[in-house]
Structure 1
Amino acid sequence: MRILMMVALLLGYFQSAVWASPEIRINIPELVLRVYDNGKLVKEYPVALGTSYEKTPVGNYKISSKEQNPTWIPGSGFSDKTPVPPGPDNPLGSRWMEFSPGYGIHGTNKDWDIQYPVSGGCIRMHNADVEELYELVDVGTPVTVTYQTLLLKERNKSIYLTSLPDIYNYKDGSKAKVSELFKPYAKKYKLLSNWELPNDQVRHETKIGVAR
């Protein structure tokens, strides 16, 4: 019994240490929600985000409220204003975490639309995922939403460029932007001259730099 109690205490200690200072980050074109603790990635979840007509807002926010089994009250875009109680027909799923007035991280009653830009601006998750996240973050947890279609990553002594679909048509991708992103790597890597920036609306990865 004493050993079991010690194990439980140790597990509680390490769990609290892991989530000492969680932060949620979402880069809209990736359709992924990541949880960091002191700058270290600790969790990653697929999400659905706003359409090009009802965009998910970019900015720095904080979780302002949390609710289990929320009631959904249809917004201005719906003719039927009848509240939908908790249950399988509720589009908010089993959890709601508001980060800006009218915008929240929540579950879904349509699992098949996760990883697509189909929401009214909120961040949808699989119910099992949002229930886990709900227990790991508190009111006040920072939420950072960005929009970056160009990402650089070091791998195998090279620099790779990932180009993501510009789902909101912000047209923020250019060779000049890549050159700016490459500057922190310039001392260690040489920028290749024969790479092209993809212009299609699919995820694409290409090597653009090699070790000096």
Structure 2
Amino acid sequence: MHRARQRSYVDMQSNQAQKTRSFWLKHLYRWHWISSAICLVGMLLFAATGLTLNNAGRIESEPVVTKKNGQLPAPLLPKLQQSQPDNAPLPKVIADWMAGALDIEAGEGAGEWSEDEVYISLPRPGGDAWVVIDRASGELNYELTERGWVSYFNDLHKGRNAGLAWSWFLDVFSVMALVFSITGLCLLHMHAGNRPFTWPLVGLGLVLPLILAILFIH
């Protein structure tokens, strides 16, 4: 009778452990595939641009420069000649005219105002642009430099001049990548008993970059 009770208790403990394991496996698998689905395209993009960034010197790119000249309408000159605080953007009416007449988007760019001119820097992923307007005459000069799609995606990888929405995307992507990695590590832990090479491979993934950093990065 005593042995039967012991066996029953052991069976109950085993069933409880199995239920707990099944519970965690179910939720870990769920979050692992959800995070992997959300991260899939982003991971492909960041892996590809990691290669292009690491081999940037071997990828030839011919910059394309576009120049535009214009003349601000006389009725808008008084707006340009008004006193402006440091780093103030162009007055909205001038920015709207530039967008409509010359297809130049400069409404949110911070201006460098001097007595003679206003200079607006307009950096963007994969290129750069600027516009200078003479405050007395209204003469306008614009230049856009585009360095190609590889440079564009490299800048997206770095979050360079990509705007607030892309910055939010990078934050969300980073959180989902962490979820993907942590749930993957937990799944490795739960299955490691049947896969003896699990932890040696995980250790290799940790030790190899550490050794390279110690020996070859100075």
TM-score, normalisation: structure 1: 0.21
TM-score, normalisation: structure 2: 0.21
Pick the structure with greater CA Rg: 2
Bigger fraction of residues in helix: 2
Bigger fraction of residues in strand: 1
